[in-house]
Every structure is written in structure tokens, then in C-alpha cells.
Chains A and B, each alone.
Chain A
């Protein structure tokens, strides 16, 4: 893809990112950060791409390590965020 297309996507995504989180309530800061943390686990896709076309053993070892780390980031991130939000739900019910 052309560089300018990729850069355009980047710039537009910056604005979307700002807009989407601009009205977050302060109690949700931590879960939102944790959710965002899980989303950048998407580097897993990048790790799979490089592992797929690795030519040397060094490339393969490093990229497989990257796959493991990225999976931990992504899967663990979503599970932990879900648990945080579960805790919020529990608190609310007690409040009522």
C-alpha cells in the first residue's frame, strides 16, 4: 500500500482515538486503559506475519517469542479487563 494511504489512516485514527475516549468517566479510567492495553496485543498479528516469513533461525526464534508475548498481552488483557468490570457491576448491585 502507498505510504500516504498508511499515513492518512494513522492521522484519522488519532482523531477517532481522541474523540472516542474524551468523555470517559473517571471511575472507568482503569478498565479503559486495561482494555486499550489488550487491544495493542493486536501486535500478535504482526508477530504472526514476521514468524510466517522468517528466513533464518534467529528470525524464527525472535518472532516466536514475540508471538508468545503478544498472545499473553492480548488474551490476558481482555480477561483481566472483564474481571475488573465484573467487580464494578458487583459494587453497583450492592449500592442499590
Chain B
């Protein structure tokens, strides 16, 4: 497809997302807003297959994976009890964060040593925050689903361990940026997953919605960062909107 037309339709999808969030902030327009968001997402997903850069490789696999995702996601969302919705949202947020982290890792493997420093930094950011969002959301889900204690889990020297993990995450992030290797990146992913768990464990039941909101914003920002690496404007727009809206 013509690149200009492609970008134009992509922009339309971006506008859909802005209007979706705007609609969702008013009771009367909320449902329409959600529908608009879904339309924008559908446009964007169909559109990417028509990109001039799309080589139509692995197409059956990709379509199969999407079909599988729909088969899992829709029944889960339809059948869930009203009271269990928050944990489902947490879970969806977690898998989104996980997806963003995976996209960043694959792009990192793909770019190899050709990546510019800015791209490496954006990738590292996505992997770290995506992994935190993933493991943090899983813990949140387990807490809300009462599969584990809803009370704050506080262990001796907990603060010290959390701080040490964060320092390790930052240290290894610096190592990846400086040394560019796959092993450091995987270590970084592991540490970030650990940090996500430690970060949410001390949170009590009443504060969990705030954590979901925060992790949601985190995932948004990771999507924006991976949009930077992939040079996909729409990902930047959508991701940033979510990141900024997490501040409410």
C-alpha cells in the first residue's frame, strides 16, 4: 500500500484512541468511546498487514496466533463474574506488559549490533518495565483472586532487598547498554521480573487498584518505547496516551 495512505489510516486509528479515552471519561459517551477504541484497534491491526514493509512471512502462524488469542480472551472476558473484573483487568495488563517485553527482546535479537544507542536504551526500558508490569500484575491477580494472602507480605529486610534488586536492575541495564549482549538482556529480564514481584508483595488489598492503575500506565509507556524502536507512530501515540492517563 502507498506509504502516505498507510500513515493516514494509521493516524485515523490514533485519533480513534484519543476519542475513545475522551468518551470513556463521561458517563453518557463511555460505551461509544470503548467501541471507538475497539474500532481503532481493529483498523490498526488489519492495516499492519498492508504495510509496504510487511513481507507476509509467517502469515498463517500470525493469524493462527491471533485466532488463538481471541479464543482465550473473549470467553475469559465474557464469563467472568462482575466481582472478579478487577483481577481480570490486572491479568490482561500483565499479558500486555509481557507481550511488550517479548517484542523488545525479539527486536533486540533482530537488530543485533546495528542498533543505535537510543534504540538500545528504549529496548532496555521496555524489557525492564514490561517485565515489572508482567510479574507485578500476576501477583496482583493472585492477591485479588485470593489465591494468595491479600494482606501485605512483609519480610525481614524487605526494603533492603527491594532496593538492592532495583540497584541490580539499574546496574545490569547499564551493562546491557554498554556491552550489548543477549545474556545480560536475559539476566535483566529475570531481575525485572523479580523486582515486579517484590514491588507488589508488600501492597495491601485496599491499595491494589492503585497498583493496577500504575502498572497499566507502565505498560502504556513500554508500548510507546517499543513504538520508538519499531518506528511505529501509532504505538507511540497509543502507548503514551495510556501512560499519561494512568495518572488519574
Q: How far is the CB of A77 from chain B (nearest CB, A)?
A: 5
Cα distance A24–B70 in the bound complex, in angstroms: 30
Contact residues in B for A25 (Cβ distance below 8 Å) = 25-27
Cα distance A48–B54 in the bound complex, in angstroms: 9
Q: Which of B76-84, B138-146, B151-159, B191-199 contacts A (4 or more CB under 8 A)?
A: B76-84
Residues B21 and A32 in contact, CB atoms below 8 Å apart: yes
B-contact 0/1 string along A33-46, CB 8 Å cutoff:
11111111111111
- Whether A75 contacts B73 in the complex (CB less than 8 A), given A40-B220, A43-B223, comes out as yes
Residues B92 and A77 in contact, CB atoms below 8 Å apart: yes
Residues B224 and A69 in contact, CB atoms below 8 Å apart: no
A-contact 0/1 string along B201-240, CB 8 Å cutoff:
0000000010011001001101110111011111111111
Cα distance A47–B24 in the bound complex, in angstroms: 26
Set A22, A55, A76, A86: member contacting B88, Cβ < 8 A: A76
Q: How far is the CB of B155 from chain A (nearest CB, A)?
A: 30
Q: How far is the CB of A8 from chain B (nearest CB, A)?
A: 10
- Does B136 interact with chain A (Cβ within 8 Å)? no
Nearest A residue to B231 via CB reads: A1
Q: How far is the CB of A34 from chain B (nearest CB, A)?
A: 5
- Whether A66 contacts B216 in the complex (CB less than 8 A), given A31-B30, A81-B34, comes out as no
Nearest A residue to B130 via CB reads: A43
Residues A64 and B65 in contact, CB atoms below 8 Å apart: yes
B-contact 0/1 string along A60-78, CB 8 Å cutoff:
1011111111111111111
Set B25, B41, B236: member contacting A24, Cβ < 8 A: B25
Residues A72 and B72 in contact, CB atoms below 8 Å apart: yes
Residues A77 and B89 in contact, CB atoms below 8 Å apart: yes
Residues A45 and B106 in contact, CB atoms below 8 Å apart: no
Contact residues in A for B21 (Cβ distance below 8 Å) = 17, 20-21, 32, 35-36, 39
Contact residues in B for A88 (Cβ distance below 8 Å) = 27, 30
Cα distance A51–B63 in the bound complex, in angstroms: 11
- Whether A35 contacts B20 in the complex (CB less than 8 A), given A47-B99, A73-B99, comes out as yes
Contact residues in B for A32 (Cβ distance below 8 Å) = 21, 24-25, 245, 248
